[in-house]
Structure 1
Amino acid sequence: MSRLKGAAGRDTRAGFRTEPRDCTTSVPQGLLKAARKSGQLNLSGRNLSEVPQCVWRINVDIPEEANQNLSFGATERWWEQTDLTKLIISNNKLQSITDDLRLLPALTVLDIHDNQLTSLPSAIRELENLQKLNVSHNKLKILPEEITNLRNLKGLYLQHNELTCIPEGFEQLSSLEDLELHVGENQIEMLGAEHLKHLNSILVLELRDNKLKSVPDEITLLQSLERLDLSNNDISSLPYSLGNLHLKFLALEGNPLRTIRREIINKGTQEVLKYLRSKIRDDRPTQSDSVTETAMTLPSESRVNVHAITTLKTLDYSDKQKTSIPDEVFDAVKSHIVTSVNFSKNELCEIPKRIVELKEMVSDVNLSFNKLSFVSLELCMLQKLTFLDLRNNFLNSLPEEMESLIRLQMINLSFNRFKILPEVLYRIPTLETVLISNNQVGSVDPQKMKMMENLTTLDLQNNDLLQIPPELGNCVNLRTLLLDGNPFRVPRAAILMKGTAAILEYLRDRIPT
C-alpha cells in the first residue's frame, strides 16, 4: 500500500474514486487494464486534445473492473498492479500538459512528440525516475528550469521546436548518454561551455538547423561523442581541437565555414578531423583561407551570391521561401565550376529541371525543407553526386533511376512519408550513410541490406517497425544503427542503450539455425 499512499499524497482529492465514465470514449478500458499489468500505455495517434484524467490517475483510482468484481482473482489483486513506467501520447493535438503529471512518479519514459505543446508543466520535476523524454515536433519556446532536476535522464529529444536557448543548469543532467541533446531545428544561437562541462558520457549531439555562430573549445570535453550534427547553422569556423575527438560522423553542410574548404568537407568525417588535427600545430590561416573569409563577408540579402560560386564552388539559393529557382541563379554559374548546390528552405514542389546543367560537376545537393512529393529524373543524371539531402519534404518513394547514382555515399530522407525503405537504395553499393528517421517505415530487408557492403550508418529512429529481423545482425559493417522510437518490443531499451555492436550481437544470437 506504500505506492498508493505516495500517489494519493500528491493529490488530496485522490481517495479511491472510480474512473470517470466518459474516459472510455477516448481510452478503451482494455488498454487501461493491459497498462496496469505491463506498466506501459500507448495512446499515440488518437486525436486527443487533452490527456484524459483516467490516464493520470491510472495508479490512483480503483479500476472499474474491480468494482464489478471482474478479472481479479485471489492471485490478481488490483492494488498489486504495476505502476505505469512508460507513457506514449505522441501524434495527437495536445496543447498543454497539466500538473496531474505528478501522479505518475514511476515514469521512466515519456513520449509526447508531434503535438502542439507550447510549454511543459513545472510538475515535471517530480518525475525523478524519468530516463527518456521526447518532446520533439512541438511548439516549445522555452524549457522549464525544473527539467534540470531530472538527474536520471539519459535521453532528451527537443528537435523541431521554437527554442532560442538552453536553460541554465542544464549541465546538471549528468546522466545524459543518448545525446546532449537532440535540439535540431530550433532557433538556438549559442552553445555555451557551461552546457558541456558535465556531459562527457553523451554519444550523439544533434544541433542541426539552428542559428549557432560558433562551437566552444569545450566541445573536446565530450570524449565519448560519436556523432555530431552541426549542419545548417551560421558557423564560420571550428575549433581545431575538435579533431581530437573520436567521431564516427560529423555533419557540417550548410554552414558559411571560412577556415575549412569544401573539398575537404566532401571527403568525409575522417578527412575533416585529420585536417583539423594538422592545424593544431599551426593555427595561422592559410592564404586560401583568408581569401575565403573575405569572400563570405557579403550582404545576406544579395539574390545570387556570385562570390560563393567563384570561391567556394557553391550555388546557394537557400532560405528564400520561393516556389521556384529563378533562371538568373543558374545563369550566374556561366563557365564556373560548381560542386555544391543548396536550395534548402524554400517551397519547391519539384526539383528545378536546369539542375541537369550541372551534371558533370556537382557532388553535393541540398533540397531539404521544401515541398517535394517526387524526385525528378534530372536529379538522377547527376553522375558525380555524393551527398544528397532530401529531408523534411513530402516524399513517399524514390525513382528506380536513382540506381545510376554510382557515387552516392550519403542520403538523408528523414521527416518524409516513406512506409518502406526504398528498394532502389539496396542497389546503390556506394552508400555509406542512410538517414531515414521520422517516417513510417514498417520493414527492412536484411538480406538485401547485407549486400550494401559500404553501409556504416543507418538511422531508423521514430518509424513504425513492429519487429527487427534477426538477420539484420549479419550486417556487421554497420557502426551506427539507430532504432529508438519504434513500436517493437525486442531488442529492449536496455540492449539499445548498449550501442550498435551489442544490438547486432543480440540479433545474430536469435537467427534461427
Structure 2
Amino acid sequence: MGPPPRPASALSNGTRPTTSDGTPRAIPATPKRGPLASQRGSMTAPRSVSAAMIGASATPSKRSSIVPPSTIKKPPLSQVQSPGSNPRTRPLSNSKTMVARTPVSRPSVAGAFGQAVSPSAITPVSTPSPARKTPETARKGPNSSTLLREQLAKAKAAKRSESVNSTDATSPKPNSSQALRDQIAKAKAEKRATVASPPRPRTNTPPRDAIIPDPAEIASFDFGLNDPFNQRPNGGFSLLRKRVDGARANGKLNLAAMELKEIPEEVIKMYEYNPESNAAWSEVVDLTSMILADNNLDTLPESMFPDVDYEAVVESEDVVPQFGSTQNLDLHGNMFRELPLGLGRLPQLSKLNVSRNKLTVETLGVVFQIATLRELKLAANELEGAFPAKVESLTSLETLELQENRLTSLPPEIRALTHLRALNVSDNRLTSLPSEIFTSMPVIDLNASKNSFSGSFFDVGTVPYLQNLCLANNSLTSLYGSDTILLPSIKHLDISTNRLSIMPNVAAWTSLITLLVGENSLSTLPEGFCSLKQLRNADFTANNINKLDERIALMDGLENLTLAANPLRERKFLTMGAEDIKRDLMSKLGPETVPDAELSQISEDADIEVEGNGWKLTPSGTLDLSSQIMPEVDEDAVACFAESHDIKQLYLQQNLLSKIPMVIAQLSFLTVLDMSKNNIADPLTESLALPKLRELRLSSNKLRSLKHISSMLSAPRLHHLDVSNNRIAGSLPTLRESYPELTTLLASDNGIDEVSAESLEGLKIVSLSNNDIVRLEPQIGLLIGTLTSFDIEGNKFRVPNYAVLKKGTDAVLTWLKDKIPSPTDEFFTPESPAL
C-alpha cells in the first residue's frame, strides 16, 4: 500500500490543479536501509523513511491522481535544476488566482516526510538506489522554499553519515545501559586521577605557561587543619593576643580550656608598655577577673602574685604588682598541689574557685589568710580528716563548697562565719554537724547528702533560717528525736534514700513547697501532711504506705504526688496523677469538723427553716436534708412533716449526725435511707423496725462493727447495704441470717481480716477491697454461679495473685475452686487426731 493521497488545495474546490507551475525534477536518492521484517512502512515513521520504503522492485508505487498526465513533450531535465531556468507560465483561465504569479509546485509524496533518522545500529549504504522513472505527476519545478528544505535535509543526512562513519567499524556500538556504565566508569577514573594528582594552580594563561609549584613546598605549607579555630597555644598566639587585648579593655581575662601548662609570657607582661602593640593604652583598666580553669597548670609564677604588702608598695616607689586588683580568681580543673603565697596578700579577692585540683588540708593556710573572701570553692580535692579550725578567719564568707572530699568533721569554730548562707558538704564522710550551723549561723541552703549520718540528724528543736535541706543517701532513721521539730522557713526538703520509719509532725512547716521522702520505710503519711497549703510536689516512692488520707482531696495546691512502689490497697493510686487521686478521694471524704459555736448557729438556722416549712418533698417521695451540717435531726419536725407526706426516700448524708434518728420508725413507707458521710460510730442504741426498707447507706462514717446493725435493725426486705470506708474490724458476719433478701454488700476500705464462705452465701455483689484479709477459703469457689461480682483487691493475701484478680470474679472463684482438696486426698485438719 502506498502513501496516503495528498490533500487537495484550498483554492481548487477540493480538486487538484490541472496544470503544473514548475519544472518537474527527479527525486533525490535516499540511502537504502537494511532488510526489514515487513514491506509495509509505519505511518508514524519520518517522511524520508516512508518515501524510501517501496516494493521489492525499483519502480515506485503508482498513485491515483485526479489530474491526467500532461501530454506536452518536454526535454529531459537534470536531477536538480536551478530556479533561474524555470519557465514562467501563465495561469489558466479556469484558475482562481486573481493576480499573475508564478505557480508554486506541490512536493510529491516522496518528499512529504522529513529525512529519516537512522537508528544508531544501522549504517546507511552509500550505493545509490536504482534509477527510477519519475512519474509525470511529480515533474514539477521546485521553488525557493522547497529547494531550501531539500538542501537542509541533504546537509543533515551528510552530517549524520560522517558521524556514523567516524565510529569504530570493528566493534558494534554498545547499547544505552552499557554506554551509561562506561560513562560512570570513565567519570570515576577521572576523579581518582584528579585526587591522586597534586592540585594545580588556577591561571588564565595557556597551560604551557602555567607555574607548577614544588610538591614538597605544598606538603610543608600549613593550611590550619590541625587547629581550624586557632585556639591551640602552639598553633598561633592570635587568640591569646586577642584575649589579652580584650582583658586590658574590660578587666576580664578568660584563658579557660587552652591546654596551658604554664602562664604565657604575654599574660605576665600584659601591662608592660609595648610601643609596637596596637592596644589603646589610654583605655587600659585593672584586671579584676582571671579565669584559668580546665588547663594543665600546676603552679603560678611568683611574679603574678608576689608575696608583698600591697599598701606598702603603693606608698613606695617600687613597681606595683600588675594583678593586685584581682577580685575573682578561677583555677578549677587544674593540677595545683599548693597555691602561691602571694594569694594571701591580695586585698580585693572575693571569689576563689580551686575545685578539682590536688590540694590537701595542709596547703589551705594561704586560703585562710584571704580575709576578704565571700565565696570559696574547694570541691573535689584531696581534703581528708577534720577541716581546719582556721576557717574562723574567713568572717566575710557567704558560700563554702567542700563536696567530693573525704572530710570526717567540721570544727566548732565554724560558728564564726556569721555571714555564711550556703554550705555544701555532700559526698564526704561526715557523721554529724555542729549545732551552731542551725542556730547562730544564717545558713539557708544546706546540702549534706551522701555522708555517713545515722540516727537523728537535728539535735535542736528549732531551725529558724534553713530553707533548702538535702539529706539524701544517708542512714538516718529520724529527723529529730521528738515528734515535733520547727522548720518555719523550710521550702525544699529532700530526705530520700534513708531509713526513716517515722517523720515528725509537719503541720508547722507552712512554707514547704517540695517534700521528697522516697526510698524509706514510712508506713503512713507524715502527721499534718494534709494541712500543708503551700505544698506543690511530694514523692513517697518505695515506702510501706498502704492507705491514703482522704483529706488529701482538700490540698488544692498539690500538683505532683508520686506513690509508686508502695503496698497500697488500692493499686490504682500507684499510677494516677495528683488530680486523679484527689478526685477519687473526694468521693470518700467525710464531713468536715465544725466548731461548736458554728454548730449552735447552724442548728438555730435549721430550726428556723423547719419552722418556716422549708422542706420540700419531690413527686417520687424524696426528702433531701443533705449537706445541712446538722448535728441532730429535729424529730418533732420530721414527725409533723410525715403526717402530711409519704416519705419514701430520706437523704441525710454529709451532716454531723452521730446516730440513726429513731423518728424514722414513723416513716412507714421508707425504702431508701442515706446517712453516709456523717460521724456515726454506734448507729443504734435501741431496736428499730423498718419493714419496707430496701437500701441502707452508711458509708464514710466511724462504724466499728456490724453487730449493732444486724441485732437492732429489723429490715426483712433489705437488699442493699453500703458500709464502705468505715472502721469495721474482725470477721465478716453472716448478714443473710438477719436480712434474708440481702444481695449487695459493699464493705470496702475497712479492717475486715476474715471472710468465710458461709458469710457470702446468697449474696450476688460483694466488695471487700482494701481490707486486711490474709486468706481466702477455697470453699468460696463453690459460690460460682450465684456470686456474680467479688472485688477483693487491696488485701494482705498473696494468693491468688494480682494477675488472677484482674481477670475478674469468675477467674478468682475458679482458682479457689481448684484449690479445694479432693475427698480421696489424705490431709490433716486441726480436728484430726495426732498420729
TM norm structure 1: 0.49
Specify the structure having the higher radius of gyration (Cα): 2
Larger relative CO (CA 8 A, sep 6+): 1 or 2? 1
